[in-house]
Amino acid sequence: MRALRSAGTIRSNLTKILGGALVPMLFFGAWQGVLSYEDSRNLVAQRLRANAWVIAESERDPFIIARHSLQMVSQIDAVRDYGQDCDQLMVDTRDGATGILNFLRADRNGAVRCSALPYQPGTSIAGNPWWKQAVAADSFLLGGPLIGEVSKRPVVLLFLPLKTSRGEFDGTISAGISLERMADALAARQREHGGEVMLVDRSGKVLLAAGPARFTRLETISEALQTPQLATATDGKEWTFVAAPMFDRDLLIAYAEPRINFANAALSRIWLILALPLLAAVLTLTGVWIGTQRYLLDWFPQLRSLTRRIADEQPVDEREAFATAPAEIAGIADDLHTMAGALAVNREALQRALAAQKTLTRELNHRVRNNIQIVVSLLTMQTERVSQGWVRDILDQARSRVSALGLIQRFLYEQDAEQIGTVAISELLADLTAQIRTSHRRGSDLGLECTADATCKISFDRAVPLMLFALEAISDAIRRAGDRGRAARIEVKLLPTGHGCLMEVLDDLPVAGEVTLDQELLAALADQIGAKFGVESVLGGNRTWLEFAAG
């Protein structure tokens, strides 16, 4: 099998394959002709138009019956003059009229004078939106859809204006055609023909629809009487529709199918005509696939396997496996082997450099931590040599602040390499409060508690001003307790908020008007964190808070 493979280039092998595969396509394609695409579209359009006309013809009976019935009863004196038999005549007329809910006689003011359905005396249709047009009309007028004033059901109204012998308006006779029955009929037609069946008025407004799509208006309904038109459903899909008149051109039936179906149906005959060229194309693609697989694609899994082994840092030596491959594939394999050797050398150098860097970093952190401990020790010694007073207070503050820095440095030193960059504030606050309780000489009088949410984390750069802020707030409460000669109860809280975290230092020592905290220092520390802070009196004590973004 390997001996059959050419050692030529990929381009030359593919040229041979394609040249041989195109011969049958050209040979068979010369035998075939293509039917006109426009002729196919016309055939499909005729089918759509035939469906629309069949539906319109089958469902226009109620309108024809209503027109003839109105013409007939308009000649009866009992109806024109509101005689005592008027209601019964309306009932008799409706009983023989399929799909019509009611016949109704209204006088020139719109008051209902007789009806096939029972009505309340004084009922008027003058408020009907189509009444004014009926008053001015000279012949039949179609109105709706609406809820009938007497039937209380959805109908389309067909008005016939009446005139006196002097040509004056003398009210109307109207027929209420049931939209519910029409909807059922359109649904049945839709199930029979498929597509989308719609009842549309002359303006293009969709009155009823049956089918999978939803339309509110067909803007080109008039043009659809002659040629297929495009419309977009509410879901954004395009449909092709035609129209057929239902009642003159005031009411039409529109039949639509998805545009893609219309195009596919128009193309179906072309595909039949092109059967042999398609067969030639299949044979051509089969030849291309077999040749490409044989001369090219079979080598890519081996290249992929080689690349994967290099990525997994495994030793590779597969040059002999690519000895019979095309020149380009063999060249790529040689390059990958060369790259694997270079990567191995670079990887060893990087590992040595990384190990040295880690050693230097830990040594630097260790020395910084030791230096901070030395500074704390020196400040402690100096403090013990100074008697009580403001100098000792300043030294105590300095020692506390440096100790807080040492606490953060210890976290940096002890943290895993994967976690470098951020620290859990809850751990820092817990160690800070423990450190304050230990160093405070009157620890038995100091009630210092810490409640912190473990999810709040912050970068090391922002952890320093955060701890100094907390230290200043706690130290201030301790100083105020000492000045008043009483025990202090201090609570440190850390809570998550919708946008970050909130730290609170609460004590039971009212400020009593004076502000002992260094507001300028707190503002500077808060600014370094990009946070907001405040100091305020609460019930029975004082509250210092800091709101900041986590991370």
Summarize the confidence of residues 534-545 as an average pLDDT. Answer: 85
pLDDT at 458 over 70: yes
Residue type, 100: I
pLDDT at 434 over 90: no
- Residue-wise pLDDT tens digits, 22-65: 666 666 655 554 555 566 677 778 888 888 888 888 888 888 88
Q: Which of 10, 2, 4, 1 minimizes the C-alpha distance to 330?
A: 10
What is the distance between the alpha carbons of residues 145 and 157, in angstroms, rounded to a whole number?
8
pLDDT at 521 over 60: yes
What is the distance between the alpha carbons of residues 431 and 438, in angstroms, rounded to a whole number?
10
pLDDT at 442 over 70: no
What is the distance between the alpha carbons of residues 229 and 240, in angstroms, rounded to a whole number?
6
Q: Judge if the upstream peptide bond of residue 154 is cis by omega within 30 degrees of 0.
A: no
- Residue-wise pLDDT tens digits, 128-163: 888 888 888 888 888 878 888 888 889 888 899 999
The answer to whether the CB of 254 falls within 8 A of the CB of 198 is yes
Element at 493 (helix H, strand E):
strand 488-496
Q: How confident is the model at residue 166 (pLDDT cuts 50, 70, 90)?
A: confident
pLDDT at 382 over 60: yes
Q: Give pLDDT, residue 319.
A: 67
- Residue-wise pLDDT tens digits, 248-294: 778 889 999 888 876 666 566 555 555 666 676 677 767 776 777 77
Q: Give pLDDT, residue 338.
A: 79
Q: Which residue has the higher pLDDT, 96 or 265?
A: 96
Helix (H, G, I), strand (E, B) or coil at 403: helix
pLDDT, averaged across the chain:
79
Summarize the confidence of residues 187-212 as an average pLDDT. Answer: 88
CA 444 to chain centre: 60
Q: Give pLDDT, residue 298.
A: 75
Instruction: For CA atoms 359, 363, 369, 373, give the dihedral sign.
Output: positive
pLDDT at 2 over 50: no
Q: Give pLDDT, residue 392.
A: 64
CA 58 to chain centre: 45
Q: Which residue has the higher pLDDT, 358 or 501?
A: 501
Using CA atoms, how far residue 403 sits from 131, 370, 372, 427, in Å, is: 92, 12, 8, 15
* Model confidence, pTM: 0.44
pLDDT at 18 over 70: no
**Which of the listed ranges 3-7, 222-226, 368-372, 400-404 does the model predict with the highest average pLDDT?**
222-226
Summarize the confidence of residues 361-376 as an average pLDDT. Answer: 67
Q: Give pLDDT, residue 114.
A: 93
Q: How confident is the model at residue 3 (pLDDT cuts 50, 70, 90)?
A: very low
> Taking the CB of residue 380, how many other CB atoms lie within 10 A of it?
14
pLDDT at 8 over 70: no
What is the distance between the alpha carbons of residues 99 and 122, in angstroms, rounded to a whole number?
27
